[in-house]
Amino acid sequence: MTQEKKMVIFVISDSLGETGNNLAEAATVQFPNVKFEYHRFPLTKTTSLLAGILEKAKRLDAFVVHTLVGKGLASYVNSYCNENHLCVLDGMSNIITTIEEKTGETPLYQSGRNHNLNQSYFNRIEALEFAVTYDDGKDPAGFEKADIVLLGVSRTSKTPLSLYLANKNFRVANLPLVPKAGIPKEIWQVDPQKIFGLTNDPTILNNIRRERMITYGLNPDTNYSSIQNIEKELAFAADLYKKIGCLIINVSNKSIEETATLIMESLPK
């Protein structure tokens, strides 16, 4: 029997550590046969704190990923790792140095500047509140106010996609499509380039809906989850999308991030 391969990763940051964590995760998903153990150390702003963390990393033979911006902290970690034969990835210093050399500008060396409470932050909060207010077609008035309108039958990721896009500062409203329900007149007042019709593979949708029913402790074999009903719903949606003239996106086998990127790239400039 093959022994499972393991790897310990330390993610160290003098801010929240999201950049380093995302960087590490983007790489580790390429190795499905390795079990990765993450240790995150955010808001690490002194060498005394770093010393203890690095000693632990040495004991566990960890791979150290850091996005330290504070002067001296990055070089401290890099030197320690090199002297103690630890693998290290400096995710920030080289980029900052290159920009400094290219522009001639002196960096601020302030950690967490991308999390400052600037106007973009408040716009994002407003967008999140908008997405919640106009989720599931609660108020048709939101369609004309929205930057993006998502249409789709049940379980085509409308709500999580709305919240993800809201985090990108887009005001998003979504409408669940039910063949026997009417379509709000406001939909026809929206620029079709801002409307996106979500669809899915009937078999995948069937599995998703069955699992949802099971989660609620209900019978999975209902009209809601039947292939015949799903195909009718998808046909109704496809016909509506054609009438509107909006972009259609099949979300089957796509992550929320992939679908969101398609939408953002397709918006009128």
Is residue 40 a known part of a binding site? Answer: no
The 10s digit of each residue's pLDDT in 232-257 is 999 999 999 999 999 999 999 899 99
Question: What pLDDT, on the 0 to 100 scale, is given for residue 58?
Answer: 97
Question: What pLDDT, on the 0 to 100 scale, is given for residue 116?
Answer: 54
- How confident is the prediction for the chain on average, in pLDDT? 92
Is residue 168 a known part of a binding site? Answer: no
Q: In 67-216, which ranges are E strands?
A: 88-90, 148-152, 172-176, 195-199
The 10s digit of each residue's pLDDT in 85-125 is 999 999 988 888 888 888 998 887 776 666 555 677 788 88
Beta carbons within 10 angstroms of residue 144's beta carbon:
14
Quote the distance between the C-alpha of residue 110 and its chain's center. 25
| Phi, psi of 34, rounded to the nearest 5 degrees | -110, 135
Is residue 215 a known part of a binding site? Answer: no
Fold classified for 119-266: Rossmann fold (3.40.50)
Q: Let me know if 168 is exposed, middle or buried by CB neighbors in 10 A (0-12, 13-18, 19+).
A: middle
The 10s digit of each residue's pLDDT in 183-193 is 999 999 999 99
Residues 261, 224: Cα–Cα separation, whole Å:
30
Is residue 28 a known part of a binding site? Answer: no
Is residue 71 a known part of a binding site? Answer: no
Confidence of residue 4 (pLDDT cuts 50, 70, 90): confident
Is residue 156 a known part of a binding site? Answer: yes
Is residue 158 a known part of a binding site? Answer: yes
Is residue 103 a known part of a binding site? Answer: no
**Domain 5-115 CATH (choose: 3.40.50, 2.30.30, 3.30.750, 1.20.1530):** 3.40.50
**119-266 has the same fold as 5-115:** yes
Where do the domains of the chain lie? Answer: 5-115, 119-266
Contact 152, 158 (CB under 8 A): yes
Predicted TM-score of the model (pTM): 0.68
